[in-house]
Amino acid sequence: MVWNTMILSQYVIVCRIVGRTLPEPTRAAMTRHYGSTVTPEGGWGLHAESGPSPYCTVLAHIALRLLGNRADDPLCADSAAWLRSQPGGARAVPTWGKLWLAVAGLHDYRAINPLPPELFLLPRRLPVHPDRLYCHTRSIYQAMAYLYGIRFSGDLGHPLTDELRRDLLGESRPGARPPCRSDRRLLGADAQVPPGRALRAAFDVLAVYERHPLRRTRARALARCLARVTHEQEVTREFGLSPVSSLLNVLVLHASGAAPTAVDRALTAVDHWRWTDQERGIRYAGARSQTWDTAFAVEALLAHGPTDTGDPTDAAVLTALRRGCGFLRDAQVTDEVPHPEVTARAPAAGGWCFSDGAHRWPVSDCTAEAAATLLHARHLLPETTVPDEGRLRQATAFLLHRQNRDGGFGSYEPRRGSRLLEAANPSEMFSDCMVEGSYTECTGSALVAFTALARPEDPEHREEMDRAIRHGAHFLLRRQCKDGSWPAAWGVNRIYGTLFAVRGLRATGMPPTHPRLARAARWLESVQRADGGWGEHHQGCTENRYVEHPDSQPVMTAWALLALLDITGPGSASVRDGVRWLCERQADDGSWHQKAVTGVFFGTAMLDYRFYAEYFPLWALGAHLAALGRAG
């Protein structure tokens, strides 16, 4: 899953701070990645389709210098020049960027919006306790709060530190000044969600407190944050929830005086997220998506309808299915996280992670898709590839726990905090990142799974599942927009949400003639492009509406076809035109080329799921052939 250069830049900075030397071939491969992703303006963007981001560009410039590139190297010279051309320059990066500048010894902590660790000392029953926050957010902030609380400042070395201060912050140039308190309010192009008046007032009050924090209270708060970070490292086998939080955890361990071997072990574990190829060099993925991709790839191969007839293609498909299902079976988390109360972890046993399960942070929709896929494949494969009844019951209990009161499903956890907490979003660059929600996609996936999991041999959960299915279906019906589409939280955007809603509602037994499904079909047909395909632009994610992409895209076309096949069947003109478009765009090697980003995270972070173009078009074509067969 491709995001941007942010994590690579942070990795390089952390390596310098903790004293790890990167070998020359590694430095060259990392520099090659920056060279392959630089924008025409000389910066680096938040995703592949964006213009340059001050936040990503500042971090990339620092990393390039640490990798041994000179200030007059074109990548460094151009990025410094572009930053100087921006209002506020490097001083106007969001709080996350200002914190990284301070951690690198380049910025004054007084010029950062306060991140007091004392918040973690609040009673957990309070509606503003950090444990009410979305798990990624609280994992990031428990580490940031520790670094902020001790005013940690690393050493990049002399004279490089002085050169970076001059190039990025303008220090030592005529009329320049060092960062100061007023810079807290300085925001540039990355500020998608600037703080409101109430939050700014809270920052002002906390800034006064930060001048003379209570020593004993601060010490207790720091100890609490350190214990949480240590626990997170231990129970995730040093991988952390994500590479974003794990790199911050490495800095916390280093700053707290942990043994160098412990710091080195934690930093080495970050390579779990490393991605290397000859063309683009070394970078760090935002996440690994093995379980998510494998579940959908198996569904795509199942749609092909392989039979054990001796045909070489069918034999190859059956072999792939057996191996894919074997991976999914073994990737299930079957034990609980020790001492979950330390970091307020939800029950983990029975779930599947987005990745391979190594970090033990399972997710509802990954669990639903993995469990459903294994049960869908049961008729073709030996029973040994399907989890036993005990593990299927664990999966059921895991999913039931993630359902919210409104009937929708959260991702990692059920919702813990009020949506009002979004008004206290301190990130400035991401939206919808403060609390868990009820998501169209997670709910649709859960309904698909429950219909597969609801078996006579599991009467213990049958009544709960029936109730969960009813409430989930009602949530989806309430969530449908007037035009017939559904909004998504994890994909781009309305076509993706509509696919998952239709899959979920059809799985509950809703007939394709139901007025709500007919409305969804009409909407999908209305946004079909003249060439027969579908294409949606990521801009719609931030504007909460459908925005057409200038070009049809194979992944969006496949999503639309899968939804329509579930409603109209294979005979509609829209389906025929969409299938024709996919067939005409298939390359000689069997693949499709996706040009647009397909995923989203934290509302504004666009993601490129590289394997979506491999299995969604295949799945759509297989489902079309199967539907034709059923139609006679």
Contact 346, 356 (CB under 8 A): no
Coil, helix or strand for 52?
A: strand
Region label for 553, one of left (φ > 0), alpha (ψ between -120 and 50) or beta (otherwise) = beta
Q: Which residues are catalytic?
A: 365
CA atoms within 13 A on the CB side of 465: 25
Q: Which helix (H) or strand (E) holds 27?
A: helix 24-37
The residues that bridge with 353 in the sheet, in sequence order, are: 362
Give the whole-angstrom CA distance, residue 413 versus residue 351: 11
Those residues with Cβ within 8 angstroms of residue 402's Cβ, 6 or more apart along the chain or in another chain: 346, 364, 409, 410, 411, 413, 414, 442, 446
CB 301 within 8 A of CB 314: no
Query: In 256-363, which ranges are continuous DSSP H helix?
Result: 260-269, 290-303, 312-331
Angle 511-512-517 from CA coordinates, rounded to 5°: 110
Residues near 316 by beta carbon (within 8 Å), at least 6 away in sequence = none
Residue 498, token pair as written in the block: 């509509």
Give the 3-state secondary structure of residue 282: strand
**Largest Cα span, the chain:** 80
C-alpha to C-alpha distance for 595 and 618, rounded to whole angstroms: 17
Phi/psi of residue 293, nearest 5 degrees: -65, -40
| CA separation for the pair 221, 148 (Å, rounded) | 12
- CA separation, residue 386 to residues 297, 392, 632 (Å): 17, 9, 32
The whole-angstrom separation of Cα 160 and Cα 589 is 49
Residue 412 CB contacts under 8 Å (≥ 6 apart), including other chains: 134, 135, 346, 361, 362, 363, 364, 436
